[in-house]
Structure 1
């Protein structure tokens, strides 16, 4: 695990950085929130991709008239 503050390597699962002494443990609630946000981001990316495809199809239909 890399310390987000001093960038030194600490043992996996460490609660405190061995180099700078700062807390580096991530609470499970934050990990769950991160996972939820990543899932939502993917859903939004998929929705955006579909919307772009739909707009592109509409623009092609307009040009062919």
Structure 2
């Protein structure tokens, strides 16, 4: 498990970083929430790409008139 602060490698499940002594224990509920938020973010990014594509098509149609 890599420390999010100093990037040092630590034993899996470590609660404190062996290099910088910072608290690195993350509750499973926070990890699950983060994963859910990342999934939702990816969905929103894809929706935004599609919307931008549709806006570009509308703009091109207006120019052709």
* TM-score between the two structures when normalised by the length of structure 2: 0.81
Which residue in 2 is equivalent to 1:44?
Answer: 44
* TM-score between the two structures when normalised by the length of structure 1: 0.81
CA 60–38 in structure 1, closer or farther in 2 if over 3 Å, else same? same
Which residue in 1 is equivalent to 2:18?
Answer: 18
**Shift of the alpha carbon at 1:13?**
2.1
Task: Write out per-residue CA displacement over residues 21-53 of structure 1, whole angstroms, 9 at most, x where no aligned residue.
Answer: 332111111111111111111111111011101
Q: How many residues align?
A: 65
Question: Root-mean-square deviation (CA), in Å?
Answer: 1.5
CA 6–57 in structure 1, closer or farther in 2 if over 3 Å, else same? closer
Gaps of 5+ in 2: none
Gaps of 5+ in 1: none
